[in-house]
Copies of this chain bind each other. A is one copy, B any other.
Amino acid sequence: MDGSTPVTNDALGRLTALLAPEMQATNQAILARMESPVALIPQLAAHLVAAGGKRLRPLLTLATAKLCGYEGERQISLAACVEFIHTATLLHDDVVDESTLRRGFASANAVFGNKASVLVGDFLFARAFQLMVEDGSLEVLRILCSASATIAEGEVLQLTTQNDLSTTEEKYFEVIRGKTAALFAAACEVGGVIADCPAEQCSALHRFGMDLGMAFQLVDDALDYSAVQAELGKTVGDDFREGKLTYPVLVAIAAAQGEEQAFWMRTIEQGEQTEADLPAALELIRKYDATARTIARAEQFIDSACAALDGFPESEMRTALIDVARYTTARRF
């Protein structure tokens, strides 16, 4: 902790306010570029846009571009592109996870069916790549294509670790590095690249995004065992029901004694669950302080993320980014 900046719940709001014109232009670009003569595509995409979300990833591209003194307009369509990649993975996640709630709204696949979610996700991926091609930088293309492949690898790896009690902490970190942190890292690095920053600064932005993404996912995984559904905007216990080996569960499993080991074996490894099992799992998570230990691990990543910005001169934008990072472990929704 550098302790120099107060961490308030409004950190994200302040960053968004600093970037209000760029964010508005990005939202317009998102709406304009999800258009298609095939009506179901903007319909389904608009369903996700209406659900809103924090637009954290495009915000990172806008913020890092500004941090690096970039004065052009390329960050707008690239931020839209980052959001399209994110939205596409959400659409495919909804199919994959059989989740019925996403951001508190009925998930797209519950309303439109699995088929449409897969195909509209594919469209958004392709449209994202079209936006990059229009931008014309092979370096930006390299960064975001590589991130897209890494995301898919992380998601597949998560699939293969699901229900596998022997999953290590190292493997878990590999999963979230792919499925979440890689896009945060790419979103941040792109801001530096279009500003023609030196390589070491681009690497530092990559590192900032990567660590921030790791922390973000750790907190997300903690919230799935702690927040109430209304706060979270999604069903609590999703990860438990799907037998995902997330950090809080890894903590509780490592500490499990006697009967508890059999409990995790039955509910996670064999996937045999009754209605009484989620409360029992939440009790074990509480018993071993697994949520707090997850947040503590996230804070280590945030320290590392903030340190990555040391090489950038003091500025309003640097302070706002550090505040947002610090706020990550304080968020409750």
Contacts and interface: CB of A to CB of B under 8 A. Distances in A.
Contacts of A127: 149
A103 to B, nearest CB: 20
Contacts of A232: none
Interface in A119-151: 119-120, 122-123, 125-127, 129-130, 132-133, 136, 138, 141-142, 145-146, 148-149, 151
A18 interface: no
B123 A156 contact: yes
Interface residues of A, number: 41
A24 interface: no
Given A129-B145, A145-B133, A152 B95 contact: no
Interface in A33-58: 36-41
Nearest to A88: B122
A106 interface: no
Nearest to A127: B149
A179 B96 CA distance: 23
Interface stretch (A63-71, A110-118, A190-198, A222-230): A110-118
A152 B122 contact: yes
B114 A126 contact: no
14 contacts: A40-B156, A40-B159, A41-B153, A92-B119, A92-B122, A96-B114, A118-B118, A122-B125, A122-B148, A129-B129, A129-B148, A130-B145, A133-B145, A141-B141
A115 to B, nearest CB: 5
A126 B149 contact: yes
A157 B38 contact: yes
A277 interface: no
Contact of A159 (B116, B130, B133, B159): B116
Given A119-B152, A125-B152, A138-B138, 13 more contacts: A40-B157, A41-B153, A41-B156, A92-B122, A95-B95, A115-B159, A119-B155, A120-B156, A126-B148, A126-B151, A129-B129, A130-B145, A133-B142
